[in-house]
Amino acid sequence: MSSSIVVPVIDVHSNNFKELWPAMVVAIKTSSFIALDTELSGLGNRKSLLAESIEDRYKAIWHAARSRSILSLGIACYKKLDQKPPDSYLVQVYNLTLLCSEEYIIEPQSVQFLVQHGFDFNKQYGCGIPYCKGNNKGGSDDRGVHIRTLFTELLRARKALVLHNGLIDMAFLYQSFYAHLPERLTTFTADLSEMFPAGIYDTKYVTEFELRLTASYLEYAYKKCKLENSRSVTSGSAGPHVHLEFCQYAGDLSTYIDYRECPAVTSTEGQTDVCQRFSAFGWCPNGTKCPLSHDTDLIILQDEKCKNDKRKRRKRLRDKKGASDTGKDCSVSDGAPTNKMANMEEDKEEAAGDQKEADEKSCTDGNSHMDDGRDMKNDDEEENGVGEDKTNPGDSAVSVGEGTGIRSTESNAEARKKADAGTHRAGFDAYMTGYIFAYACALIKKEAEPGPEGADAQSEESWLPVCINKIYLSGKAAPLNVVKSTFAKSSKAHVQKMEMVWGQKM
């Protein structure tokens, strides 16, 4: 039913950066949209990153970005193929290993997590591409083969930028490759709105608020979109038909490519005990030692089964009440299964008692930079009234107490699968982010306008108008809007950069 995809990821480091430079710049300039992802050396205080006040969150991110560094950068360039059916893309994926030349903090938990997921620190120190953070030093950011110049090329290209749970990524990119982060959040968003005039999109926001999937962590969202896409292709239905092509790399270039296989979603034999925590949030404090399954394929298939059961129950309920449908019920939209709700309740109860353990552990699992796993699913908020004010499991990573089904340690194959998932993570994560975006564009365009011709022409202007410049905020019902508000001024460093990048005042 679903097809397997092999994704070529181009491994970029200091020994081949110059050689690959022209190809990368062309890929950026000719793309339709660009997805990015980063691996970070740490994040600082997790609780502050999830503070109630968004200004407070920004302060914590500001501190983290000032003191930590980007270890690797993933760039996925999606180029729409005009001669092919709609929603066909040529995709080029780069994974850049970086090495900050200035002092920075690297957190033990982050190292542990990264090593467990295949990050190669020898390689990073041996051939990471060097860079300096903060403001320009000597004003040569627009010349030469530097990562900061590449960032300048990205700005000049004026492409739509796509990230998954991208606020922290954006702050680190700004601080690392652009200028010192402004003190105030409103200044930061004002700067961003000018830096990326084609818009910034956050696929975690898209996943939760437009696609309305049961969970929204990256791998889940990607696999679910891919599965739905291949179903719609196979059945020949009018749904999205995203089609990807990759370059055939030959000669010297081929030695830099790593092929990441992304197999079709299949039902997994044997393993049936899904780790509920992982299922809901995409991370689990037990990591690779968890006796329960972290298999996203299995989780997706179980969710689909739950959803169908629930839909039947809902229908019965509706029939009883005589209430009409909410009107928004596309093939991938529905509430979280009840088992996820149970998990959320558990989090609330245990949160207070195990805070210490939470502080020790919450950063290592799921992701090195507080990514998807951290936040709750709230698809059911209309029904259950658990919207934005819930505690976040990210700061209460406690043992889940589901030890009743004790199993022997996982098979070697399973362990390897978990470990493999981390190699060239930034590049592959950027690729997955781009895929979700391409799928969402195809789906929402189809829903909005049945006539494909007109919709296609329009899509170049704004890819997903309902989601433009909306950055996901964990535990909040509303996104962060990337706008220049009436009262906000751009930062001085940004104005200087813009003059350099665009050769003009803004």
Tell me the C-alpha distance between 45 and 27, whole Å: 37
What are the two backbone dihedrals, phi and then psi, of residue 455, each rounded to the nearest 5 degrees? -65, -35
Listed ranges 142-150, 165-173, 277-285, 322-330: which one lies at the site for Zn ion (CB under 5 A): 277-285
Whether the CB-CB separation of 258 and 11 falls below 8 Å is answered with yes
Listed ranges 34-42, 221-229, 291-299, 412-420: which one lies at the site for Zn ion (CB under 5 A): 291-299
290 near Zn ion, rule: CB under 5 A: yes
Listed ranges 84-92, 214-222, 278-286, 300-308: which one lies at the site for Zn ion (CB under 5 A): 278-286
Residue 356 burial (10 A CB sphere; 0-12, 13-18, 19+)? exposed
What are the two backbone dihedrals, phi and then psi, of residue 350, each rounded to the nearest 5 degrees? -90, -10
284 near Zn ion, rule: CB under 5 A: yes
- From residue 64, give the alpha-carbon distance in Å to each of 104, 107, 113, 143: 10, 11, 18, 28
Distance in Å, CB of 273 to Zn ion, minimum = 10
Nearer to Zn ion, 419 or 506 (CB): 419
Subset of 341-360 contacting Zn ion (CB under 5 A): none
275 near Zn ion, rule: CB under 5 A: yes
* Residue 224 parent element (H or E): helix 218-235
Residue keyed to tokens 């390897």: 416
Q: Output 82-88 pairs: Cβ under 8 A, ≥24 positions apart.
A: 84/243, 84/245, 85/241, 85/243, 86/241, 86/442, 86/452, 86/456, 87/240, 87/241, 87/242, 87/243, 87/438, 87/441, 87/442, 88/242, 88/243, 88/244, 88/245
Nearer to Zn ion, 381 or 414 (CB): 414
Listed ranges 70-78, 155-163, 174-182, 270-278: which one lies at the site for Zn ion (CB under 5 A): 270-278
Tell me the C-alpha distance between 473 and 378, whole Å: 13
- From residue 417, give the alpha-carbon distance in Å to each of 36, 73, 319, 412, 496: 24, 22, 45, 8, 47
Distance in Å, CB of 95 to Zn ion, minimum = 27
Choose, by CB under 5 A, the member of 172, 278, 437, 472 that binds Zn ion. Answer: 278
Distance in Å, CB of 317 to Zn ion, minimum = 32
How far, in whole angstroms, is CA 108 from its chain's centroid? 23
According to DSSP, the residues that pair with 11 across neighbouring strands are: 95
- Tally Cβ neighbours within 10 Å of residue 30: 13
Distance in Å, CB of 291 to Zn ion, minimum = 8
Listed ranges 292-300, 334-342, 367-375, 470-478: which one lies at the site for Zn ion (CB under 5 A): 292-300
Distance in Å, CB of 35 to Zn ion, minimum = 28
Whether the CB-CB separation of 271 and 298 falls below 8 Å is answered with yes
Nearer to Zn ion, 298 or 426 (CB): 298
Distance in Å, CB of 111 to Zn ion, minimum = 21
Distance in Å, CB of 375 to Zn ion, minimum = 17
Nearer to Zn ion, 100 or 284 (CB): 284
Whether the CB-CB separation of 139 and 179 falls below 8 Å is answered with no
Helix then strand then coil, % of the chain, to nearest 5: 45, 15, 40
Residue 403 burial (10 A CB sphere; 0-12, 13-18, 19+)? exposed
Whether the CB-CB separation of 72 and 114 falls below 8 Å is answered with no
Nearer to Zn ion, 78 or 283 (CB): 283
Subset of 62-121 contacting Zn ion (CB under 5 A): none
Listed ranges 118-126, 165-173, 284-292, 348-356: which one lies at the site for Zn ion (CB under 5 A): 284-292
Listed ranges 66-74, 199-207, 279-287, 431-439: which one lies at the site for Zn ion (CB under 5 A): 279-287
Distance in Å, CB of 314 to Zn ion, minimum = 29
Nearer to Zn ion, 160 or 290 (CB): 290
Distance in Å, CB of 277 to Zn ion, minimum = 6
Query: How many residues of this chain bind Zn ion (CB under 5 A)?
Result: 6
Nearer to Zn ion, 292 or 397 (CB): 292
Distance in Å, CB of 415 to Zn ion, minimum = 13
Nearer to Zn ion, 158 or 407 (CB): 407
Point out which residues bind Zn ion (CB under 5 A): 275, 278, 284, 286, 290, 292
